[in-house]
Amino acid sequence: MNAKDSTKVKVERNLCVLFADVSGSTRLYEKLGDKEALHSVERCLNRMTRATEQFKGRIIKTIGDEVMAVFDTAEAGMEAACSMQQKVDDLPPVRGIKLAIRVGFHFGPAIEEAKDVFGDTVNTASRMAGLAKAGQIITTADSVAALPALLQQSTREIDALAVKGKAEDVRVCEVLWQESDDLTMKSASVAAAPPAARMVLRHGGEEKVLDAGVGLFSLGRDAASDFIINDRRASRTHARIERRRDKFVLIDQSTNGTYVTFDGEAEFALKREEVILRGKGRISFGHAFDENSEVVEFKVG
């Protein structure tokens, strides 16, 4: 096996997967403007990255205002989550806006391939982060059980929730990283969590809906793709769409690139890159859009 092939080997082992994002970033951009808001988000991301490195973790990806990281143990994941919260909490307000993040993690079996991580543990960690409020860390009872006894004392169970794809309810816990009533999440607020994001995709006469039950959607010339793209300039495995909590992310895997147009905006190309899909738009494969292009139309929300 050569070095290039070795990067594609699938390895399954127990990992702690963590998601963290900047809470209320939309309000930041509205109030501060793009430049100052972007600087504020980057300060948070830098502190989250340093906390990950502090506890021997690895950043899998950063997109927009969010990071995904992995750790070898539940203990390291929890320590990093607490460090992230403390580091961001230490930042001064920006024009009266207090910066905050929300964090979720889960420890369990995951598949590592080509420096990325996949599987049910990733989906569960994402779900936990989606439940968290600003300044909170949310995890599962299974993850708490994998912690040392001393750290378990800094958690408490708050609810049991039905999670898509799981036969039994998932017991949800809060990590008490600081003493404050403001960080208490009541069961009622968990139950009232916003509905999962939804996206409609159209290709030719076919329409498919991506929602909480779909974690991955493939596009390409390969017959196994969810949408088969017949354009010869498209790659067999051209692109995929991942659901990450309340976002849908388009990831280019092609030779010639994936071309994206949001309604009312200029077309741009992804070359081994990714973008969060928003609003309405279209995707074309292997070349810029023209009258002969085979396209996938999307609508988020």
Q: Could you tell me the CA-to-CA distances from 8 to 52, 111, 227, 247, 281 in Å, in that order?
A: 24, 11, 24, 26, 32
Indicate if 47 and 138 belong to the same structural domain: yes
* C-beta of residue 86 within 8 angstroms of C-beta of residue 105: no
Q: Please list the rounded mean pLDDT of every run of 10 residues in the chain (301 residues).
A: 56 94 82 87 95 96 92 96 94 87 96 88 90 91 94 87 68 82 40 61 93 82 93 93 82 93 92 88 95 93 80
Instruction: Of 212, 227, 162, 203, give the one whose Cα is nearest residue 293.
Output: 203
Q: Which of 169, 191, 213 is the last residue of a domain?
A: 191
Indicate if 36 and 118 belong to the same structural domain: yes
Indicate if 273 and 126 belong to the same structural domain: no
Total-model pTM:
0.62
HSE, side-chain direction, 13 A CA sphere, residue 44: 33
Residues with Cβ within 8 Å of residue 127, at least 6 apart in sequence: 104, 163, 170, 245
Q: Which of 170, 191, 212 is the last residue of a domain?
A: 191
CATH number at residue 130: 3.30.70.1230
Indicate if 14 and 65 belong to the same structural domain: yes
Indicate if 51 and 130 belong to the same structural domain: yes
Indicate if 32 and 104 belong to the same structural domain: yes
Q: In the structure encoding, which two tokens stand for residue 90, read together?
A: 């230490």
3-state secondary structure of 296: strand
* C-beta of residue 242 within 8 angstroms of C-beta of residue 249: yes
Distance CA 169, CA 161 (A): 5
Distance CA 234, CA 13 (A): 34
* C-beta of residue 267 within 8 angstroms of C-beta of residue 259: yes
Q: Which of 191, 219, 234 is the last residue of a domain?
A: 191
Indicate if 65 and 183 belong to the same structural domain: yes
Q: In the structure encoding, which two tokens stand for residue 107, read together?
A: 């420890």
Indicate if 179 and 210 belong to the same structural domain: no
Total count of domains within the chain: 2
Range of the domain at 260: 199-300
Indicate if 212 and 167 belong to the same structural domain: no
CATH number at residue 215: 2.60.200.20
Indicate if 176 and 51 belong to the same structural domain: yes
Q: How far from each other are the two terminal CA atoms of the chain, in whole angstroms? A: 45
Q: Note the pLDDT of residue 97.
A: 84
* C-beta of residue 31 within 8 angstroms of C-beta of residue 97: yes
Indicate if 173 and 226 belong to the same structural domain: no
Indicate if 134 and 159 belong to the same structural domain: yes
